[in-house]
Structure 1
């Protein structure tokens, strides 16, 4: 793991106004900023999206900076939510450090991103349904 805490890039149910935002983030964050993740696309999941690496793709979301005193607990809770356990081949997501671009000023920011785990990625590439435009909020059922 990195020596310093990283912000989180959220693109699905953790975004403001979505089902898990208040449950996990309320009172635990310093700020949220619009951001973009390059090199990935979104796929529909069962009520939530999966970001899948894809050259030329783009995913819209928010860069979330945790309060220092809440960081460790939030990281652990988000890992549980995303069903990420280091080294587990049955993960739904992998937590990886990636550069995202802050929309307000175009600055790159290193952040944690939950990407679809390899087995999920293979399944989605074989027959998943894309979220057109890479924005979960603008999705069509």
Structure 2
């Protein structure tokens, strides 16, 4: 699909089932990046900035972060804010997933620089549409899956 095989996609969601569905459908659609799943925003930031449990561990820089908005410990808005607020990571594409349709949350994410805000589906078939949307965003250049 694209030439960025060495990059990784970081999928941050406290619901492992949802994460597996997204990962499966991205792979079926030809996304070649390895998908790394982490269950909360704190672990995601530790991974990206090589802090906490990842201190001293050389991690791969994600080309794309797909984060659930509402998670225990640290949610997607905090991940988005930290990534876009740091010059080392501000170019990483961030897609926020949520079941919320709260206009204030959507606006806040866009103001912080989120590349896309997608509704999390209520059924497994809906995750095909989410994966298709992510792939189309990569394909049309809306989000960059690699540098």
Q: Give TM class, smaller chain.
A: under 0.3
With a CA cutoff of 8 Å and minimum separation of 6, indicate the structure with the bigger relative contact order.
Answer: 1
TM-score by length of 2: 0.25
Decide which structure has greater strand share: 1
Q: Determine which structure has the larger helix proportion and give its number.
A: 2
